[in-house]
């Protein structure tokens, strides 16, 4: 009897089981968050940001790409969130968040509690980009973006693009939590603004104990990038050693990075050995380039990168008073017993750096600067 | 009489039940005890478990076509065999019930936040009951399909994790001053490796399963390497200091990674959940197979399918008894410790008697 009607029962039951999830809601009935801003306003926490506007626009045209700003206030994060929930028409969906923006004021107060919230609450992605903005997020999200969908997208796309090309650091929630849980190290997060219709990367914000302690401007961040970025790239102009007026555009990338640490005479020693590869992009005025010129140029590039590394490491010791590069990870790995018995934060401030940068100009692009000689 | 299982079917079933629920938590369990030297503890554990699995396989091979129930009666008598069976029955039942519950809890926490846990349990039990009603050969064939997919995706995910990781996070690889710590951490490797005791209830044919020892040794070795790979790749991404804080470690770490070049599957946790659930279905079916094998020996007048329904219903009711997830985790932890009796003490007793009384020569 059962076997006779089995197929009919299956056909009837299947559509019921295939209707979707338990809490399924259409995408246009959800409140899709694109970006989150967090600020300290007097004694309250202010959540702001952008949410996707999915309702169809006038005339029947879909306005999928639009976003609207939201603002909510509360004594704690939960209060601010409750204030936000009181004014939204659909369930909150944070799976599409592109970036979280902290104000400088909030950064200085400390972002660790909010990072723990992001990392542990179900629904938030732990791969979300974290940035600090020059202005309050409330003002940032009100600005109009010309070259992207909205502020959140513009910030994420800009930082991602720069990170892929070795010009910035893309720092995610998970990476920050990993640094926080290591305890004795600080970290850098991107520092941004929105200006003239575009999101702009301004540099890196140095964080000690998850509190903002300083900014490394974009122009000065080469040293940080050559220490931390996966594929740092630096493009600069150098004068030829034989003729100072002769300018050369050089692109430098990282070949190999080796960091070794040791503990001698009650001092931490950090050896940084960089092998760089440079390429002559073009000459401002084409002219011959001798082997001596190239050798001198290699030395100049090495010195410039070495100086920028020395400058930021010195700032980390004297100004930030924190190991924002995470050298402690290397030290703990190489000297586990010494690490257990020391106060890394205190001793790092007197650490001695030995930096060796070795640059090789691997090619001159498609240009043969000495061709003129051959014609003669 | 059901067709005897092939070597491949036996190893894929073992793979499913050993990885089962354990692989998602193995980095936290081992790293909490052994730190960055987890690979060493896992390597030692792998060697120990290869020897144990060989011992179990030897018993099954010597007593061809029999399960523990039959040859234990010859070796230690009926009353002690009954005691063994009761212990195994409780052990399998606790695993089966609590793994279904914890799996439902994790699914509720990660993807189906608003779905009541009881309904996730219910759906799981329906799937398992159906698989179980079809018998061990069907479960074995399902494992044959699921396991290669599972292995491929786990290796792919580990490879992608390593691409996001840093070598400095897994240092120091070995510290001589921590050697005792590494050996103490062997205790933490018991839960990930439990499951191989199901072999005691799978009959082996000498003609069909001639090279079974080779297969089992390679499998346990492979699982050990896979565990090391999972642990090291997870630690390389977030560091050992973070790993110890994370429950369902692999899933939690994957939630923090986007591989942009993979486009629509750039979020790896979704992919991992799919293969994790596939493997869990196999593992839960095999735990329940262990229960039904024991029960069907003692209760002979009840139809097999009716017995499946009764067992699944009882398990479903018991699965709802623990009030919190912590209680479920604690029960699983204690059950894994009692696993030492199941996969080592009892087989070792039977193995020694077999050797002393030279049953293997007689057979």
DSSP one-letter string for B108-157: HHHT-TTS-HHHHHHHHHHHHHHHHHT-HHHHHHHHHHHHHHHHHHHHHH
Q: How far is A329 from chain B (nearest CA, A)?
A: 6
Q: Among candidates A156, A77, A71, which has minimal Cα distance to A110? A: A77
In the block, which residue shows the tokens 């346990």? B220
Confidence at residue A245, expressed as pLDDT on a 0 to 100 scale: 81
Burial category of A262 from C-beta neighbours within 10 Å (exposed 0-12, middle 13-18, buried 19 and up): middle
Secondary structure of A95-162 in the HEC alphabet?
CCCCEEEEEHHHHHHCCHHHHHHHHHCCCCCCCCEEEEECCCHHHHCCCCCCCCCCHHHHHHHHHHHH
Say whether B169 and A329 touch across the interface (CB within 8 A): yes
pTM for the complete prediction? Answer: 0.90
Of A23-37, A73-87, A166-180, B248-262, give the range with the top mean pLDDT: A166-180
Q: Helix, strand, coil % (nearest 5) of chain B?
A: 80, 0, 20
**Which CATH number characterizes residue A327's domain?**
3.30.300.210
Say whether A334 and B119 touch across the interface (CB within 8 A): no
Same domain, A211 and A272: no
Confidence at residue B244, expressed as pLDDT on a 0 to 100 scale: 93
> Residue B171 is nearest to which of A22, A326, A333, comparing CB atoms?
A333
Closest residue on chain A to B243 (Cα): A178
Q: How far is B120 from chain A (nearest CA, A)?
A: 11
Tell me the pLDDT tens digit for each residue of B48-103: 999 999 999 999 999 988 899 889 998 999 999 999 999 999 999 999 999 999 99
Which mean pLDDT values do the consecutive 10-residue runs of chain B (363 residues) have? 79 93 86 94 96 94 90 91 94 95 90 87 93 92 95 94 93 90 92 90 88 94 96 95 91 91 85 91 93 89 92 96 93 90 94 87 69
The DSSP call for residue B35 is G
Per DSSP bridges, beta strands A31-41 and A92-93 are parallel
Confidence at residue B1, expressed as pLDDT on a 0 to 100 scale: 42
Chain B residues in contact with A19 by the CB 8 A cut-off are: none
> Residue B168 is nearest to which of A173, A174, A333, comparing CB atoms?
A333
Confidence at residue A59, expressed as pLDDT on a 0 to 100 scale: 54
Same domain, A258 and A192: no
Say whether A21 and B256 touch across the interface (CB within 8 A): no
How far is Cα B259 from Cα A10, in angstroms, rounded to an integer?
40
Return the structure tokens found at B78: 């009926």
Say whether A334 and B171 touch across the interface (CB within 8 A): yes
Burial category of A249 from C-beta neighbours within 10 Å (exposed 0-12, middle 13-18, buried 19 and up): middle
Return the structure tokens found at A137: 């997020």
How far is Cα A275 from Cα A359, in angstroms, rounded to an integer?
6
Chain B residues in contact with A330 by the CB 8 A cut-off are: 168, 171
Closest residue on chain B to A330 (Cα): B168
Q: Give the total number of structural domains in chain A.
A: 2
> Residue B168 is nearest to which of A181, A183, A330, comparing CB atoms?
A330
Tell me the pLDDT tens digit for each residue of A42-80: 889 999 999 988 766 555 555 555 777 888 999 999 999
Return the structure tokens found at B306: 């009716």
Chain B residues in contact with A177 by the CB 8 A cut-off are: 238, 242, 256
- Interface probe for B, chosen from A171, A333, A337, A338 (most Cβ of B below 10 Å), is A333
Is residue A5 one of the residues assigned to a domain? no
Say whether B242 and A333 touch across the interface (CB within 8 A): no
Residues 6+ apart with CB under 8 A from B235: B27, B31, B36, B38, B165, B169, B170, B243
Confidence at residue B299, expressed as pLDDT on a 0 to 100 scale: 87
Specify the long-range contacts of residues A81-86, CB closer than 8 Å, at least 24 apart: A81/A47, A83/A47, A84/A47
Is residue A7 one of the residues assigned to a domain? no
| Angle made by CA atoms B111, B309, B195, in degrees to the nearest 5 | 60
**Domain span holding position B167:** 7-362
Say whether A174 and B169 touch across the interface (CB within 8 A): no
Res A290 pLDDT > 90: no
Say whether A333 and B239 touch across the interface (CB within 8 A): no
Residue A258 confidence class, pLDDT cut points 50, 70, 90: very high
Say whether B109 and A177 touch across the interface (CB within 8 A): no
DSSP conformation letters of B307-334: HHHHHHHHHHHHHT---SHHHHHHHHHH
Last residue of one domain, picked from the residues A194, A217, A240: A217
Beta-carbon neighbour count of residue A355 at 10 Å? 18
Confidence at residue A2, expressed as pLDDT on a 0 to 100 scale: 63
How far is Cα B38 from Cα B28, in angstroms, rounded to an integer?
10
Residues 6+ apart with CB under 8 A from A102: A37, A38, A39, A111, A114, A130, A131, A132, A133, A137
Is residue B2 one of the residues assigned to a domain? no
DSSP conformation letters of A16-32: HHTT--TT---GGGSEE
Same domain, A106 and A30: yes
**Domain span holding position A306:** 221-376
The residue ranking higher by pLDDT, A297 or A92, is A297
Q: Give the total number of structural domains in chain B.
A: 1
> Residue A122 is nearest to which of B113, B175, B241, comparing CB atoms?
B113
The kind and range of the H/E element at B270 are: helix B268-298
> Residue A125 is nearest to which of B36, B175, B255, comparing CB atoms?
B255
Say whether B109 and A181 touch across the interface (CB within 8 A): no
Return the structure tokens found at A114: 């909010």
Mutual angle of helices B212-238 and B7-19, in 10-degree steps: 30
SS3 A356: strand
Say whether A182 and B256 touch across the interface (CB within 8 A): no
Residues B172, B36 contacting (CB under 8 angstroms): yes
Is residue A164 one of the residues assigned to a domain? yes
Res A21 pLDDT > 70: no
Is residue A15 one of the residues assigned to a domain? no
Residues B315, B99 contacting (CB under 8 angstroms): no
Is residue A155 one of the residues assigned to a domain? yes
Is residue A12 one of the residues assigned to a domain? no
> Which ipTM value was assigned to this complex?
0.88
Last residue of one domain, picked from the residues A188, A217, A246: A217
Is residue B1 one of the residues assigned to a domain? no
Is residue A18 one of the residues assigned to a domain? no
The kind and range of the H/E element at A259 are: strand A247-264
Return the structure tokens found at A115: 């990072």
Same domain, A258 and A177: no
In the block, which residue shows the tokens 């190489």? A334
Using an 8 Å CB-CB cutoff, list residues of chain A that contact chain B: 21-23, 122-123, 125-127, 160, 172-175, 177-178, 181-183, 259, 326, 329-330, 332-334, 336-337
How far is Cα A230 from Cα A357, in angstroms, rounded to an integer?
17
Q: How far is B114 from chain A (nearest CA, A)?
A: 6
Q: Where are the alpha helices (DSSP H) in A192-283?
A: 222-228
Question: In the A/B pair of chains, how many CB contacts fall below 8 A?
Answer: 75
Say whether A122 and B258 touch across the interface (CB within 8 A): no
Say whether B175 and A183 touch across the interface (CB within 8 A): no
Confidence at residue A1, expressed as pLDDT on a 0 to 100 scale: 59
Q: Stretch A162-185: mean pLDDT, rounded?
A: 95
Res A285 pLDDT > 90: no
SS3 A250: strand
Same domain, A314 and A374: yes
Report the percentage of chain A scoring pLDDT > 70.
92
Same domain, A124 and A32: yes
> Residue A182 is nearest to which of B112, B239, B256, comparing CB atoms?
B239
As a residue count, chain A comes to 376
Torsion of CA B176, B226, B233, B164, to 10 degrees: 150
Beta-carbon neighbour count of residue B171 at 10 Å? 20
The dihedral of CA A118, A120, A123, A128: what is its sign?
A: positive
Same domain, A240 and A106: no
Closest residue on chain A to B171 (Cα): A333
In the block, which residue shows the tokens 């523990």? B68
Residues 6+ apart with CB under 8 A from A245: A239
Confidence at residue A325, expressed as pLDDT on a 0 to 100 scale: 97
How far is Cα A321 from Cα A338, in angstroms, rounded to an integer?
21
Same domain, A34 and A91: yes
Residues 6+ apart with CB under 8 A from B76: B84, B349, B350, B353
SS3 A331: helix
Is residue B270 one of the residues assigned to a domain? yes
> Residue B242 is nearest to which of A21, A22, A177, comparing CB atoms?
A177
Residue A129 main-chain phi, psi, to 5 deg: -75, 140
Q: Among candidates B241, B268, B201, which has minimal Cα distance to B59? A: B201
Same domain, A194 and A270: no
Say whether B168 and A181 touch across the interface (CB within 8 A): no
Is residue A14 one of the residues assigned to a domain? no
Q: How far is A183 from chain B (nearest CA, A)?
A: 9
Q: Stretch A239-252: mean pLDDT, rounded?
A: 86
Say whether A178 and B245 touch across the interface (CB within 8 A): no
Last residue of one domain, picked from the residues A192, A217, A242: A217
Residues 6+ apart with CB under 8 A from B284: B20, B96, B99, B100, B103, B124, B128
Say whether A23 and B172 touch across the interface (CB within 8 A): no
Closest residue on chain A to B259 (Cα): A127
Closest residue on chain A to B244 (Cα): A181
Chain B residues in contact with A181 by the CB 8 A cut-off are: 239, 241-242, 245
**Which CATH number characterizes residue B69's domain?**
1.20.1740.10
């Amino acid at each position: 009897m059962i076997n006779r009607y089995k197929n009919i029962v299956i056909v009837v039951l299947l559509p019921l089981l295939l209707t979707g999830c338990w809490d399924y809601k259409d995408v246009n009935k959800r409140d899709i968050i694109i970006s989150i801003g967090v600020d300290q306003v007097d004694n309250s926490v202010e959540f702001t940001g952008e949410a996707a506007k999915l309702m169809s626009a006038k005339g029947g045209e879909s306005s999928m790409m639009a976003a609207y700003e939201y603002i909510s206030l509360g004594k704690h994060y939960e209060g601010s969130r409750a204030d936000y929930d009181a004014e939204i028409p659909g369930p909150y969906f944070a799976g599409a968040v592109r970036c979280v923006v902290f104000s400088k004021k909030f950064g200085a107060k400390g972002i660790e509690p909010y990072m723990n919230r992001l990392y542990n609450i179900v629904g938030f992605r732990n791969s979300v980009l974290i940035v600090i903005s020059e202005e309050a997020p409330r003002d940032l999200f009100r600005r109009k973006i010309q070259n992207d969908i909205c502020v959140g997208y513009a910030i994420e796309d800009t930082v991602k693009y720069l990170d892929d090309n070795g010009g910035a650091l893309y720092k995610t929630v998970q990476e920050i939590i990993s640094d926080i849980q290591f305890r004795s190290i600080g970290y850098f997060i991107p520092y941004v603004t929105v200006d003239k219709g575009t999101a702009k990367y301004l540099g890196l914000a140095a964080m000690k104990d998850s509190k903002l302690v300083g900014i490394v401007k974009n122009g000065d961040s080469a040293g940080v990038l050559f220490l931390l970025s996966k594929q740092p790239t630096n493009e600069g102009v150098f004068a030829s050693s034989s003729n100072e007026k002769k300018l050369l555009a050089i692109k430098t990338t990282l070949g190999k990075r080796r960091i070794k640490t040791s503990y001698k005479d009650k001092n931490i020693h950090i050896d940084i050995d960089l092998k760089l590869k440079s390429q002559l992009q073009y000459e401002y005025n084409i002219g011959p380039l001798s082997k001596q010129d190239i050798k001198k140029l290699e030395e100049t590039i090495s010195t410039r990168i070495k100086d920028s590394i020395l400058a930021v490491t010195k700032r980390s010791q004297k100004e930030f008073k924190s190991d924002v590069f995470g050298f402690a990870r290397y030290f703990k790995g190489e000297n586990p017993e010494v690490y257990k018995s020391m106060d890394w934060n205190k001793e790092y401030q007197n650490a001695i750096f030995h930096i060796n940068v070795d640059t090789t100009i691997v090619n001159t692009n498609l240009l043969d600067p000495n061709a003129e000689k051959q014609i003669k | 009489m059901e067709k005897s299982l092939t070597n491949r079917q036996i190893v894929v079933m073992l793979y499913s039940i050993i990885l089962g629920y354990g692989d998602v938590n193995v980095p936290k369990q081992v790293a909490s005890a052994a730190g960055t030297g987890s690979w060493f503890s896992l390597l030692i554990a792998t060697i120990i478990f290869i020897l144990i699995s060989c011992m179990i396989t030897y018993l099954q091979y010597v007593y061809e076509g029999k399960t523990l129930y039959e040859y234990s009666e010859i070796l230690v008598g009926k009353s002690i065999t009954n005691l063994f069976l009761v212990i195994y029955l409780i052990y399998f039942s606790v695993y089966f019930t609590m793994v279904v519950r914890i799996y439902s809890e994790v699914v509720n926490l990660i993807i189906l936040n608003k779905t009541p846990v009881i309904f996730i349990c219910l759906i799981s039990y329906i799937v398992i009951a159906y698989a179980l009603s079809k018998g061990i050969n069907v479960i074995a064939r399902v494992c044959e399909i699921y396991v290669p997919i599972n292995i491929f995706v786990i290796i792919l995910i580990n490879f992608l994790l390593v691409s996001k990781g840093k070598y400095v996070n897994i240092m120091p690889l070995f510290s001589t001053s921590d050697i005792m710590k590494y050996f103490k951490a062997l205790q933490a490797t018991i839960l990930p490796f439990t499951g191989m005791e199901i072999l005691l209830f799978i009959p082996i044919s000498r003609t069909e399963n001639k090279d079974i020892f080779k297969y089992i040794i390679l499998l346990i070795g492979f699982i050990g390497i896979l565990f090391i790979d999972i642990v090291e790749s997870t630690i390389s991404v977030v560091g050992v200091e973070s790993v110890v804080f994370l429950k369902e470690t692999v899933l939690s770490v994957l939630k923090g990674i986007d591989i942009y070049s993979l486009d629509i599957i750039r979020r790896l946790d979704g992919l991992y959940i799919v293969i994790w659930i596939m493997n869990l279905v196999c593992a839960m079916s095999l735990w329940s197979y262990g229960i039904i094998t024991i029960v069907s020996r003692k209760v002979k007048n009840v139809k097999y399918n009716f017995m499946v329904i009764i067992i699944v219903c009882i398990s479903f009711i018991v699965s709802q008894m623990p009030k919190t997830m912590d209680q479920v985790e604690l029960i699983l932890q204690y059950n894994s410790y009692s696993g030492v009796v199941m996969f080592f003490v009892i087989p070792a007793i039977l193995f020694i008697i077999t050797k002393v009384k030279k049953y293997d020569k007689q057979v």
